[in-house]
Amino acid sequence: QGCTQKYIVKNYFYYYLFKFSAALGEEIFYITFLPFTYWNIDHSVSRRMIIVWSIVMYIGQVSKDILKWPRPLSPPVVKLEMRTNAEYGMPSTHAMAATAISFSFFIATMNQYKYPFELGLVAAFVFSALVCLSRLYTGMHTVLDVIGGALISAVLLMLLYPAWDKIDHLLLTSPFCPLFSIVVPLVLCYNYPKLDYYSPTRGDTTTILGAAAGATVGFWLNNQYTAPAYTSKGFQPGFPLVTSTMVFVLARFSVGILVVLLTRWVMKSVVLGALAYRYKFPVRDLEARRRLEVEVPYKFVTYSSVGFTATVIVPLLHELLGLM
């Protein structure tokens, strides 16, 4: 629908700060930071963040389309984004994602690595606060949307934390993990709440659940056939600057992200082409791509392939290139 008001930027520092902060709650951040953690920091930390992130985001997205609270009116609010304007407002999933990722990272690392507790807590708070404030600055949410999102995420994190290790162990060792990881998210995506008009929330939710499903299958496969997940063999035991040179860190990330982006591009083309052939529509037909029978398999297969590639194919490539 586009922005409803023109605007003039008077303070470029705030403008670029909060535009950048808003990107920390979007796909470009997820597809870089979460794999980076897996390739360069710790497998267990990455697994826990992905588990929390996927659960929190699903609940947040569904809550939006059940509550159906509108976004701020424009005018008087000036909206700096276009795509998410079609979604409902409450709760802010940017606030939920930022709170979930920053504090799950902090909780997962505070007992494993030596760094000041206060520093980690402040870093998590600043990260989540910047993302939350960006949603107000860009005019996409009310204060209540943002506070509600952050509080819901915090409550979910507190509820998940006691079962954190058990869930992780079960997903790594259960023979039913691959089936469960694929079937349950697919059922949730196909039974997503229906709206009177199209909203990108179902597609975004399918993207998130697909990526988490592929990564979870990858975690299970690695644990079954490669180095055990609960030993230090097969992944770095500490932070990159301590255990490896920046050259290796950048090399691992560069190779990994290139393969991940290539996988996403190839799978998008292949899956969309197959669905277009199956349902007889032009590949560029946007309305056809929004249909349930097209959008869900298109997004799910593409991003489950991305998650699987990031956790299985890329580490094998790192080992082959001597980057481990």
How many CB atoms lie under 10 A from the CB of residue 321? 11
* Separation CA 51–CA 306 (nearest Å): 16
Look-up: residue for tokens 């990455």? Answer: 46
> Catalytic residue among 43, 141, 169, 318, which?
141
* Separation CA 317–CA 244 (nearest Å): 18
With the CA atoms of 28, 30, 36 and 37 taken in that order, what torsion angle do they form, in degrees rounded to the nearest 10?
160
Is 169 considered catalytic here? no
Look-up: residue for tokens 């509550």? Answer: 67
> Catalytic residue among 43, 94, 169, 318, which?
94
The one-letter amino acid code at 46 reads: S
Q: What share of the chain is helix, strand, coil (3-state, %, to 5)?
A: 75, 0, 25
Cα–Cα separations (whole angstroms), residue 242 to 55, 149, 158: 32, 35, 30
How many CB atoms lie under 10 A from the CB of residue 175? 9
* Separation CA 324–CA 251 (nearest Å): 10
Residues 6+ apart with CB under 8 A from 310: 34, 35, 38, 214, 215, 218, 256, 260
Is 318 considered catalytic here? no
- The catalytic residues are 94, 141
